[in-house]
Amino acid sequence: MSEDNKKLEELQQKREARRKRRQRNQILAYSAVIAVIVAFALGVLGIIHVISNPKEPEGEVRLPGLPSEFSEAPVVEPEETEPPVETVEATPEPEETEPPVVELTREQKLDEIVNAAIEVMPLEDKVAGLFMVTPELLTGVKPVTKAGDSTKTALGKYAVGGILYRTQNVKNKDSFKTMIDNTIQYSRYPVFLAVEEEGGNATQIVKANLGTKTDGAKTIAATGDPQNAYQAGVTIGSYLKELGITMDLAPVADLANVEQSLMEERSFGDDPQQVIHYVKNAMKGLQEQGITPCVKHFPGMGSVTTDTEKGVAVSERAEADFWASEMDLFHKLVEDGVPVIMVSNMAAPSLTGDNTPCSLSDKVVTEILRKQLSYDGLIITDALNEKAVADYHSSEEAAILALKAGCDMILCPENFEEAYNGVLKAVQDGTISQQRVDDALRRIYRIKFADRLEE
């Protein structure tokens, strides 16, 4: 073979080799493109399959109609990621604030003062504080015209709640004022300093040549002007205040509604609708001068003709008549805020069922005055040394009965020491409860401490 033919053959062989390489490269290129397309398709189909069959078990995924080398693809597990943290806005802590200040009423403030005073009192002083007595009953001296060592000793032993002065205790203005001042100084607790000064002939201070004489209730009512009762109250209150007196056992609210009534001269009349105006005006006059009035004599003793100082006095008045007149009058006084009411020693069988003195009857004091008339002020007995009581009950028995009936203060028992010791023993053995004593003292001290709210 010639040299030229050899070169041509070699050239053809090289061309053939290049052609085969090009074909092989094209095949490889096409295969790569197809592989990319298949991979993309598998990815899309896989996503569709997962979405359509979320609960299909894990394993290989084979697509029908495809060769195994394309369908065998590993399942790619999703990367574990932390669940999203839910953001909760923190509630701001409430700012600490002072609790709102509750403003106490006048009555609540007064009760706080009263309760604080009562809590520290020994039982002996509490019991003594339920009594109002004359200087003679307290000291055993007759008559008492000054407050000296005997008074000081007696008040040191018996811290009585009140002292009632009469004409016999007054020598002159200066000595009487000194006696009052010394009594206040010797007393461990505030004490009522009282007189019975109604006006007219029913007076103690005017009879001792002190004070200014005023008309009595009957004369004032005859004028037809309740303002005259007010002026009388102002006059009486003025001279009592000047002497140092703090309580007047007046005015009278009894209705003189029977012939020869015991209260004929001392009453403003027999018509409750008219009498109420005179009583209220008399009270107002006293109170404006700083004197505590004590209205008397519940349930109204104008229907008796016998004086309880001399013996039993029985009212024949029917229960319906009491309710139509006397009870109506006293109920209006209760609504008007009367501070003190005195209960009489007369008997009212139509109300009590027997001849028990009203001052010792729970039907009169508790059932009627306290409950039915809704009175929560201070209740004081009439003098328990009157024969209507003293002739039938010992001093001890009468005092205990009065407290159990609902009275808060005992006026002038026949024998003070006997009454005091009897009540003390009754409280100690439970015959009278400690609560009954404390309730009575609260009513007493609400009056005594009323002016402290202004301080």
**141: confidence class by pLDDT, cuts 50, 70, 90:** very high
Higher pLDDT, 111 or 153: 153
Q: Give pLDDT, residue 94.
A: 61
Residue 91 confidence (pLDDT): 59
pLDDT for position 69: 44
Per-residue pLDDT at 45: 55
CA dist., res. 158 & res. 143, Å (int): 19
Q: Which of 283, 278, 214 is nearest to 250 (CA)?
A: 283
Q: 108: pLDDT confidence band, cut at 50, 70 and 90?
A: confident
Highest mean pLDDT: which of 11-15, 114-118, 234-238?
234-238
pLDDT at 333 over 50: yes
Reported for 332-338, long-range contacts at CB under 8 A and 24+ positions apart, including other chains, are 332/276, 333/253, 333/276, 333/279, 333/280, 333/295, 334/373, 334/374, 334/375, 334/377, 336/280, 337/377, 338/283, 338/293, 338/295, 338/377
Structure tokens at 67: 């060769």
How far apart CA 235 and CA 334 sit, in angstroms, is 24
Tokens of 212: 């200014």
Rg (CA), the chain: 52
Does residue 58 register a pLDDT over 50?
no
Rounded to the nearest 5°, which phi and psi values hold at 411? -100, 120
Using pLDDT thresholds of 50, 70 and 90, give the confidence band for residue 365. very high
Q: Is the pLDDT of residue 168 over 60?
A: yes
Which comes out higher in pLDDT, residue 16 or 212?
212
Instruction: Look at residue 255 in the predicted model and tell me its pLDDT.
Output: 97
Distance CA 56, CA 43 (A): 17
Query: How would you class 73 by CB atoms within 10 Å of its CB: exposed for 0-12, middle for 13-18, buried for 19 or more?
Result: middle
Model confidence at 81, in pLDDT bands (50, 70, 90)? Answer: low
The reported pTM is: 0.78
In whole numbers, what is the pLDDT of the chain averaged over residues?
Answer: 87
**What is the DSSP-derived secondary structure letter of residue 268?**
S
- Residue 37: pLDDT over 80: no
Average pLDDT of the residues in 334-344? 97
* Element at 164 (helix H, strand E): strand 162-164
User: Tokens 């005992």 belong to which residue?
Assistant: 410
Higher pLDDT, 12 or 232: 232
pLDDT of residue 143: 94
Quote the pLDDT of residue 352: 97
**Order of all β-strands in the sheet with 410-411:** 378-381, 340-343, 292-298, 247-248, 192-195, 162-164, 131-133, 410-411
Confidence of residue 104 (pLDDT cuts 50, 70, 90): confident
**pLDDT-derived band of residue 103, with 50, 70 and 90 as boundaries?**
confident
Q: Is the pLDDT of residue 397 over 90?
A: yes
pLDDT surpasses 90 at 147: yes
95 compared with 417, residue with greater pLDDT: 417
Q: Are 165 and 134 in contact (CB under 8 A)?
A: yes
Q: Which of 85-99, 118-132, 173-187 has the lowest mean pLDDT?
A: 85-99
More confident residue, 60 or 133: 133
Mean pLDDT over 144-168 rounds to 97
92 confidence band (pLDDT: 50, 70, 90): low
Cβ(158)–Cβ(192) under 8 Å? no
pLDDT value for 95: 63
Residue 406: exposure state from Cβ atoms within 10 A (0-12, 13-18, ≥19): buried
Whether residue 190 is preceded by a cis peptide bond, meaning omega within 30 degrees of 0, is no
**Helix%, strand%, coil% for the chain, nearest 5:** 50, 10, 40
**Digit-coded pLDDT (tens) for 233-273:** 999 999 999 999 999 999 999 999 999 999 999 999 999 99
Tokens of 26: 């094209």
Question: pLDDT class for 174, splitting at 50, 70, 90?
Answer: very high
